[in-house]
A and B are shown apart, each in its own frame.
Chain A
């Protein structure tokens, strides 16, 4: 298929301000436009501090929220036009989420494989049991696991890294063309983090799945993404090819973000790099 996969057209989203008791409106996403091409899968990083509207943007793309202004189109279909179950089902097949905390994404009382089967049945619409098993097995293989390893196990029996892989496998079952991953590695242990980030790259290259990678970690964004969007207080302050933007940031906020990344090289004098002015580093939210 050609043409744009996802178009976000001057989208804003505000919260509050309508009720009697509300004091002010918060503009969480402010006039954002972007476009993903369906011909070429890519990893698009969305970075920014907490409260910059990254997660609201993710929820808008997943159609969990609708924009206050503007339009989001997925393969030309305006998300607000999704009314009937069939269209919604088609949309959910194509756009899947991966959440931040894999321990919270799974019900602790429920066996992991049941999630995969349920997704195969309800979202992917696979009718018989054997085909569901095959779909689950294939998705697990794509993330480097197998059904035999996880069958009958509960979330607490698996590590965070494994659970996050399973969450990604679950999202892959319906054969999506877009994954929206909201901080997928921030709760993952250091020794397992590299494998998840590598997996995102791998999905793009091998399965041609585009990934919207939401993070506050500039270093992994640089490592994994093709394009980058830097957000501050709901607005995109800078965007472009990830490496160009991060090698040579233009906007003062992008520069501040880049300066705040702690380099893993040890300075000869401990603490030396921290000292360059603590008073200016607090960005107020007022």
Chain B
């Protein structure tokens, strides 16, 4: 159970770098007069503090990629932001990124807000040497002369245990783990306040994955940046993140300190995710969850998890549970987990 370390409930954290409130983003399509609405992000509120790694866990089509795309203001049709705000606070200025003008966004991207993406091949230009990619991405943000800039790049690479030789290489000449390290170097060269990492280690091998995660952790602690780290791999969350938000079918269902969530998960979905994690040395039969994730175009009424939930009762089929504080810094959206409030 958590103790005094966690922030007091209902009260804003002192140094929230990112405040998302009431965010809804739907995919809206209209084909031959048939309107379809996929509620990929449905009423999500969360805060990320300075110098914190905030993990987002959820399976495919739970809306986690849509959420971070919206947070990065990288939405394009048919994805539309229906309501809510995404407020960043970078040093002295506050920006609602959903209302920012393109010029403001350009200045902010990479300088204040950068990304580490899953497919490193998609970030690194395959026909340019790594050095040119660094110039393309970061040079204009740093306002230095070219020799100064290149020296900075070399120093930064050295800090991340990368040889300066990689600058001369084309992406295909590097191994997968190496490329992912280069994209991390690229994302952190401008010392951004906020980094969005979308499944950065999913395509990597276990051995390489651990090295890349260690590097992300080390560079985050050094720069004091905040990271939103998205992955479906709960073991990665357990080892890397400070706080964790669990998404299911477009909604946040539980949020708290990673230590508390793994120690005492409150939502039945989270509890299942953690109980079904395979671990070395364990051969006890693992429970399987019945059913499949819902179709977000026609989500079930009430709590979206109720068709698969072992604790579901009549109310869960009618009403949508709100996120409620169950302990300091620990919120959960479940009637069964918050019985005293359900009455």
Contacts from A to B (Cβ < 8 Å) = 49-50, 158-162, 189-195, 197-198, 216-220, 222-223, 243, 246-247, 256-268, 270-271, 273-276, 278-279, 281-285
Contacts and interface: CB of A to CB of B under 8 A. Distances in A.
Given A190-B234, A275-B214, A278-B214, A264 B274 contact: yes
A279 B177 CA distance: 12
Contact of B282 (A223, A258, A262): A223
Query: Which of B207, B238, B263, B281: most chain A Cβ within 10 A?
Result: B207
23 contacts: A195-B289, A217-B278, A218-B206, A218-B280, A219-B279, A219-B280, A222-B281, A223-B278, A246-B280, A259-B210, A260-B209, A261-B280, A262-B206, A262-B209, A262-B213, A265-B238, A266-B239, A266-B259, A274-B214, A276-B214, A278-B161, A282-B208, A282-B211
Contact of A194 (B60, B276, B292): B276
A271 B238 contact: no
A275 B280 contact: no
A263 B276 contact: no
A189 to B, nearest CB: 4
Interface residues of B, number: 54
A262 B239 contact: yes
A264 B234 contact: yes
A243 B211 CA distance: 26
Contacts of A285: 175
B276 A274 contact: no
Contacts of A218: 206, 280
Contact of A191 (B209, B210, B276): B276
A160 B60 contact: yes
A273 B288 CA distance: 29
A266 B287 contact: no
Contacts of A265: 238, 262, 279
B241 A49 contact: no
B205 A216 contact: yes
Given A191-B272, A260-B207, A266 B285 contact: no
Given A260-B206, A264-B238, A219 B278 contact: yes
Interface of B: 53, 59-60, 161, 175-178, 205-211, 213-215, 217-218, 221, 232-236, 238-242, 258-259, 262-263, 269, 272-274, 276-283, 285-289, 292-293
Contacts of A217: 206, 278
A256 B205 CA distance: 12
A222 B287 CA distance: 16
A191 B233 CA distance: 11
Given A216-B205, A222-B280, A264-B279, A274 B293 contact: no
Contacts of B60: 160, 189
A159 B289 CA distance: 13
A261 B217 contact: no
A147 to B, nearest CB: 18
A201 to B, nearest CB: 8
B53 A49 contact: no
B288 A195 contact: yes
A270 B240 contact: yes
A266 to B, nearest CB: 4
A222 B281 CA distance: 7
B242 A270 contact: yes
A264 B259 contact: no
Contacts of B263: 266
B215 A278 contact: yes
A203 B238 CA distance: 32
B208 A281 contact: yes
A242 to B, nearest CB: 9
Which of B218, B233, B269, B277 has its CB near the most chain A CB atoms (within 10 A)? B277
B236 A262 contact: yes
Contact of B59 (A190, A223, A263): A190
A257 B207 contact: yes
Nearest to B236: A262
A118 B332 CA distance: 48
The 5 A-B pairs at the shortest CB distance, nearest first, are namely A195-B288, A189-B59, A281-B211, A219-B278, A159-B292
Contacts of A274: 210, 213-214, 217, 239-240
B208 to A, nearest CB: 6
Contacts of A161: 292
